[in-house]
């Protein structure tokens, strides 16, 4: 039985459901819209013809909105349909650098700042007429600058406060670099969701001979910051876990951070075991590939790298070389952010589609129902693993 079949969604919606995927998130938004249209077209409810359910079934829930840009690079947001009384969901991918615009005749790639400004433009265009505004921002804007250690800016907290001041009621993100940043807006809704189920599902679909027990598999966190993430998956799967900690050179700063001198491992033996290396993001990839190299030196078996956000800021060359050397077997990331054609073409890459999950969340929240079972996928993971083991005859 699917999650959708178990959902009791006969309660009155908060308002007419509408979505605005911004340009950098349009592909994901259309997939989410397709799920919503299909579910609501099939869903039977004795209240569907009542005034409270007006506009419940639509051919599309995506509103006609656009960002127009002037030759100087300035822009404005325009919404071409009524938003009055709607339950509005805005989807934005601040990391989509593939989009460009003209700036004084030159082509300029959109930065996270540009995407964030476009989000604010759409919120401003709504003009407070929506009944509720929820921002779904998978990669949380400025989430890597989430805490202050010296006299420096605190960008993520400032952005969250700015959004709620503009009228945003809820912010939904995935695998925030540090979920404690929600302390900046303690009286507003903030959810940080981890795609653990989608990772396990992607791994089990792409690898058919896994033995999922503590004698044959292990979960490893590449740093101390990801311990909670690794502990959760290890506990749900019944595996041991280990951790690397990064020894850094604090006497110098390179590309905004102290360079890593080495990775030191804490945990039981990985010899002969398949290893799931789980992290929130792959930036250049140097760190996680060094972890894979260290695991291979310790005679680990197959290595599967799972990360919510595959940024690959240095391109695919490092990963291609590491794969050719046999340092890892699969890389799993989600489609929550922009994926390059080069990434999608790699034989070692596993794409974990999050559109159905986001559609579940939107559909449930629109009915003002609890999403707690969606936030904790332990039962679904256990059923998935049991089905996989049964197919393998184990």
pLDDT at 7: 58
Q: What is the pLDDT of residue 48?
A: 65
What is residue 45's predicted lDDT score, i.e. its pLDDT?
63
Q: Within 13 Å, how many C-alpha atoms sit on residue 228's CB side?
A: 9
pLDDT tens-digit readout, 94-119: 999 999 998 888 999 999 999 999 99
The confidence score (pLDDT) of residue 266 equals 85
Mean pLDDT of 46-71: 84
Confidence of residue 8 (pLDDT cuts 50, 70, 90): low
**More reliable by pLDDT, 321 or 53:** 321
* pLDDT tens string 336-377: 999 999 999 999 999 999 999 999 999 999 999 988 888 889
pLDDT at 6 over 70: no
Has residue 209 got a pLDDT over 60?
yes
Percent residues over pLDDT 70 in the chain: 95
Q: Is the pLDDT of residue 1 over 70?
A: no
Interval 257-280 mean pLDDT: 85
Q: What is the per-residue pLDDT across 192-208, written as a single tens digit (0 to 9) for each? A: 999 999 999 999 999 98
Interior/surface letters 298-312, b for 16+ CB within 10 angstroms, e for the rest: eebbbbbbbbbbbbb
Residue with tokens 């969340």: 361
So what's the pLDDT on residue 47?
61
DSSP code, position 379: H
pLDDT digits (tens, 9 = 90+) for 121-133: 999 999 999 999 9
pLDDT tens string 272-293 = 999 999 999 999 888 899 899 9
Which tokens go with 64? Answer: 């006609």
Would you say 360 and 118 are in contact if contact means Cβ atoms under 8 Å apart? Answer: no
pLDDT score for 5: 47
Q: Mean pLDDT throughout 314-321? A: 93
Q: Which of 61-75, 140-154, 219-233 has the highest mean pLDDT?
A: 61-75
User: What six digits make up the tokens of 343?
Assistant: 């990434």
pTM above 0.75, yes or no: yes
C-alpha span between 13 and 262 (Å, rounded): 53
Are 139 and 22 in contact by the 8 Å Cβ rule? The answer is no
Spatial separation of the C-alpha atoms in residues 22 and 66, rounded to whole Å: 8
Measured CA distances, 71 to 114, 180, 340 (Å): 15, 40, 28
Distance of alpha carbon 288 from alpha carbon 194, whole angstroms: 19
What is the residue-averaged pLDDT of the chain?
Answer: 90
């Amino acid at each position: 039985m699917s999650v959708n079949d178990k959902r009791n969604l006969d309660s009155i919606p908060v308002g007419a459901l509408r979505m605005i995927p911004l340009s950098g998130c349009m592909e994901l938004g259309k997939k989410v819209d397709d799920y919503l249209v299909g579910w609501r077209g099939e869903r039977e409810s004795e209240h569907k013809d009542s005034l409270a359910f007006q506009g419940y079934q639509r051919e599309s829930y995506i509103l006609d909105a656009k960002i127009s840009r002037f030759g100087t690079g300035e822009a404005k947001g325009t919404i071409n349909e009524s938003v009055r009384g709607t339950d509005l969901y805005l989807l934005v991918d601040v990391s989509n650098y593939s989009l460009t615009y003209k700036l004084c005749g030159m082509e300029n790639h959109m930065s996270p700042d540009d995407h964030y400004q476009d989000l604010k433009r759409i919120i401003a265009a709504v003009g407070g007429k929506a009944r509720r505004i929820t921002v779904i921002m998978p990669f949380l804007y400025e989430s890597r600058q989430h805490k202050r250690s010296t006299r420096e800016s605190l960008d993520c907290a400032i952005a969250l406060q700015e959004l709620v001041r503009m009228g945003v009621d809820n912010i939904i993100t995935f695998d925030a670099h540090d979920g404690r940043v929600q302390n900046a807006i303690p009286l507003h809704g903030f959810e940080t969701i981890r795609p653990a189920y989608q990772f396990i599902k992607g791994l089990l679909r792409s690898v058919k001979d896994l033995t999922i027990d503590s004698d044959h598999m292990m979960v490893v966190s590449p740093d101390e910051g990801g311990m909670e993430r690794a502990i959760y998956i290890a506990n749900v799967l019944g595996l041991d876990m280990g951790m690397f900690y990064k020894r850094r050179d604090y006497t110098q700063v390179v590309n905004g951070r102290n360079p890593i001198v080495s990775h030191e491992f804490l945990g039981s033996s990985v010899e002969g075991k398949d290893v799931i290396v789980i992290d929130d993001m792959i930036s250049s990839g140097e760190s996680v590939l060094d972890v894979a190299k260290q695991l291979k030196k310790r005679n680990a078996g197959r290595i599967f790298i799972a990360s919510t956000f595959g940024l690959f800021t240095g391109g695919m060359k490092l990963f291609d070389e590491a794969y050719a050397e046999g340092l890892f077997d699969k890389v799993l990331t989600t489609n929550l952010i922009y994926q390059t054609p080069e990434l999608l073409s790699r034989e070692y890459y596993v794409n974990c589609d999050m559109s159905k999950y986001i559609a579940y969340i939107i559909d449930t929240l629109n009915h003002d129902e609890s999403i707690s079972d969606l936030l904790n996928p332990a039962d679904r993971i256990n059923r998935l693993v049991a089905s996989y083991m049964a197919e393998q005859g184990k």
